[in-house]
């Protein structure tokens, strides 16, 4: 029986509708099939519903931290107190779910923040937070075990130096720490500083345009209209198509960057890192730094503010530099695109040189963690970084803690000696007290005089006047 053109059209439309309905039903039943990189571009309400079903982080799982610096509000938050945070990666040894403390940070015990004072506060991003490890295996907790100092970890994922300082102002300074450790990350802190500068500028439209991968502003506006339409607020399949279009356009904009690399471990096996080819903007910013279109001067303001906070609140300011996995494994790494390796080596050297120089100029204690991690990589043994999310594994945290222990213990002892009683003076050396007295003469003048009293010395000396 021959169908008329109208019937053939109706049959085709019905078949297409049946196919789309089946796809929609399948996505509704199994939302785990939606790739995370596409889910990020879904309509916010649909994205939140899917995230809840998949136990992914949602905005409702966070609490905003008020900003005082005029930066983007959406980049400053903490977790809801006591919740479980799940980040899934297919790799042995990764801890997918961690429970944050009663203040929304990564510390044990849960009531750790109730302590009236901490010796050390750490600030940073996911390389300071307990990404993929238990809270007790993050490097701040490991450092506390080694030194015996009271350390509170204020690290949180997804932020840069400006956010580190805002978190310190909101939660750290009131605990009157003797030492603050700011941990900068090689991979994306320059990008985050650039975003912060752009957000503060008057060129908000250009920022929005650069974030949208489509060629024209009209296309970006149309995309947003479709995403917020009735079907966009309801359909998983429609959002998947829109997100796929966005991702394809963004991939074309970034170009064909192959950011995967093989690490030839001393034991003889070869492991591919960054196998999902993520964080390609690290390569873009490394190239922009080399071209001169971005500058390390983007870090000047937060570092200067950090130094000023240290003077104002009387703490020792430590600046640590965490290298990316490709830098820690530099002697053992082979990029699938060799030109990227050359770009990133230059990028690492520029950043490390800048932070060392600026720390010296601003009176910060600088620790480049690169040599310690490179030596550990060359020695072999357990992994330092996870290959999938390229964050510190348990051993990486131990190496970092061991590298910082000497400096932090010394600074902690000097801090204690600034407040000792006469009975406790035997714990302190004269160099400890003299060193602190140079920073705060009024606060410890009496202690210095008491320390040099003949009754407190094995060899009698005349008191200094």
pLDDT computed for residue 281 by the predictor: 87
Q: Which of 52-66, 199-213, 446-460 has the lowest mean pLDDT?
A: 446-460
What was the pLDDT predicted at 248?
A: 82
Q: Band of the pLDDT at 442, cuts 50, 70, 90?
A: very low
Q: Work out the pLDDT band at 443, boundaries 50, 70, 90.
A: very low
Please answer whether residues 317 and 311 qualify as being in contact, where contact means their C-beta atoms are separated by less than 8 angstroms. Answer: no
CA 180 to CA 167: how far, in whole Å? 12
pLDDT band for 280, please (50, 70, 90 cuts).
confident
Using CA atoms, how far apart are residues 129 and 147, in angstroms rounded to an integer?
19
Question: What is the pLDDT at residue 201?
Answer: 64
Indicate the pLDDT class of residue 211, thresholds 50, 70 and 90. Answer: low
Query: 66-75, 175-184, 335-344: which range is least confident on average?
Result: 66-75
pLDDT category of residue 18 using cuts at 50, 70 and 90: confident
Q: Is the pLDDT of residue 4 over 80?
A: no
Q: What share of the chain is helix, strand, coil (3-state, %, to 5)?
A: 55, 10, 35
Is the model's pLDDT at 436 over the cut of 80? no
The whole-number pLDDT of residue 219 equals 86
Of 91-95, 270-274, 422-426, 450-454, give the lowest mean pLDDT range: 450-454
Residue 75 has pLDDT above 80, yes or no: yes
Sort 200 into a burial class: Cβ within 10 Å, 0-12 / 13-18 / 19+. Answer: middle
* Mean pLDDT in residue range 278-298: 93
Q: Which residue has the higher pLDDT, 253 or 408?
A: 408
Of residues 241 and 20, more confidently modeled = 241
Quote the pLDDT of residue 317.
Answer: 98
Average pLDDT over residues 243-269: 85
What pLDDT score does 454 carry?
33
Higher pLDDT, 75 or 122: 122
The CA distance from 256 to 369, in Å, is 31
Sign of the Cα pseudo-torsion (168, 169, 171, 174, in order) = positive
pLDDT of residue 205: 35
Residue 463 reports pLDDT greater than 80: no
Hey, how many other C-beta atoms are within 10 angstroms of the C-beta on 88?
A: 16
- Whether residue 254 contacts residue 280, with contact meaning beta carbons closer than 8 Å, is answered with yes
| Cα Rg, the chain, nearest whole Å | 26
pLDDT at position 134 over 50: yes
More confident residue, 247 or 57: 247
Answer whether residue 66 shows pLDDT above 70. yes
422 band by pLDDT with thresholds 50, 70 and 90 = very low
pLDDT at 256: 73
User: Which pLDDT belongs to residue 118?
Assistant: 97
| pLDDT of amino acid 415 | 55
Instruction: State the residue for tokens 């929005």.
Output: 208
Q: What is the mean pLDDT of residues 71-75?
A: 85
> Is 218 or 171 the better-scoring residue by pLDDT?
171
| The predicted structure's pLDDT at residue 417 | 54
pLDDT at position 395, please?
98
Looking at residue 255, its pLDDT comes to: 61
Q: Is the pLDDT of residue 314 over 70?
A: yes
List, for residues 385-406, the tens digit of each pLDDT value.
Answer: 999 999 999 999 999 999 999 9
- More reliable by pLDDT, 33 or 163: 163
Q: Which of 20-24, 105-109, 247-251, 336-340 has the lowest mean pLDDT?
A: 247-251
Residue 296 has a CB neighbour count (10 Å cut-off) of 16
- Residue 1: per-residue pLDDT: 61
pLDDT, position 197: 86
> Rounded to an integer, what distance in angstroms lies between the CA atom of residue 422 and that of residue 203?
59
55 backbone φψ class: left, alpha, beta (φ>0; ψ -120 to 50): left
- For tokens 């779910």, what's the residue? 97
Residue in 182, 164, 147, 5 with CA at minimum distance from that of residue 78: 164
Domains of the chain in start order, with CATH, are 60-208+274-415 (3.40.50.1110), 418-456 (no CATH)
Strand boundaries in 219-373, DSSP class E = 261-264, 270-273, 316-322, 333-335, 365-368
Q: Is residue 203 scored above 70 in pLDDT?
A: no
- Assigned token pair, 178: 């003797």
């Amino acid at each position: 029986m021959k169908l008329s053109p109208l019937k053939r059209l109706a049959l085709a439309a019905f078949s297409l509708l049946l196919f789309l309905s089946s796809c929609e039903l399948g996505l509704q039943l199994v939302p785990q099939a939606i790739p995370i990189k596409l889910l990020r571009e879904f309509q916010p309400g649909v994205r939140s519903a899917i995230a809840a079903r998949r136990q992914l982080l949602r905005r409702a799982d966070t609490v905003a931290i008020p900003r005082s610096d005029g930066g983007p509000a959406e980049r400053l938050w903490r977790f809801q107190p006591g919740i479980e945070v799940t980040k899934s990666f297919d790799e042995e040894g990764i801890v997918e779910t961690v429970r944050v403390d009663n203040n929304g940070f990564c510390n044990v015990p849960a009531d750790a923040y109730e302590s009236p004072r901490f010796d050390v506060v750490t600030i940073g991003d996911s390389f300071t937070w307990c990404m993929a490890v238990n809270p007790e295996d993050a490097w701040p907790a490991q450092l506390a075990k080694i030194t015996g100092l009271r350390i509170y970890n204020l690290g949180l994922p997804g932020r840069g130096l400006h956010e580190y300082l805002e978190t310190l102002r909101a939660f750290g300074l009131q605990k009157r720490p003797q030492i603050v450790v700011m941990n900068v990350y090689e991979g994306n802190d320059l990008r985050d500083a650039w975003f912060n500068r752009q957000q503060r500028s008057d060129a908000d439209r250009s920022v929005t345009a650069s974030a949208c991968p489509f060629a024209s502003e009209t296309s970006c506006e149309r995309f947003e209209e479709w995403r917020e339409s009735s079907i966009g607020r309801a359909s998983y399949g429609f959002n998947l198509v829109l997100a796929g279009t966005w991702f394809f356009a963004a991939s074309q904009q970034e170009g064909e960057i192959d950011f995967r690399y093989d690490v030839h471990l001393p034991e003889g096996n070869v492991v591919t890192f960054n196998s999902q080819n993520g964080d390609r903007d690290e390569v873009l910013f490394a190239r922009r730094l080399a071209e001169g279109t971005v500058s390390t001067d983007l870090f000047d303001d937060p570092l200067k503010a950090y130094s000023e906070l240290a003077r104002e609140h009387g703490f020792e300011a430590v600046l640590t530099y965490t290298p990316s996995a490709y830098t820690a494994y530099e002697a053992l790494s082979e990029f699938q695109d060799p030109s990227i390796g050359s770009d990133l080596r230059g990028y690492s050297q520029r950043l490390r040189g800048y932070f060392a120089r600026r720390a010296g100029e601003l009176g910060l204690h600088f620790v480049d963690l690169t040599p310690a991690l490179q030596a550990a990589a060359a020695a072999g043994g357990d992994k330092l970084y996870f290959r999938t999310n390229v964050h510190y594994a348990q051993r990486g945290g131990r190496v970092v803690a061991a590298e910082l222990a000497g400096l932090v213990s010394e600074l902690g002892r000097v801090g204690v000696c600034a407040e000792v009683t006469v009975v406790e003076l035997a714990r302190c050396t004269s160099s400890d007290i003299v060193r602190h007295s140079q920073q705060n003469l009024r606060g410890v003048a009496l202690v210095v005089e008491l320390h040099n009293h003949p009754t407190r010395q094995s060899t009698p000396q005349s008191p200094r006047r």
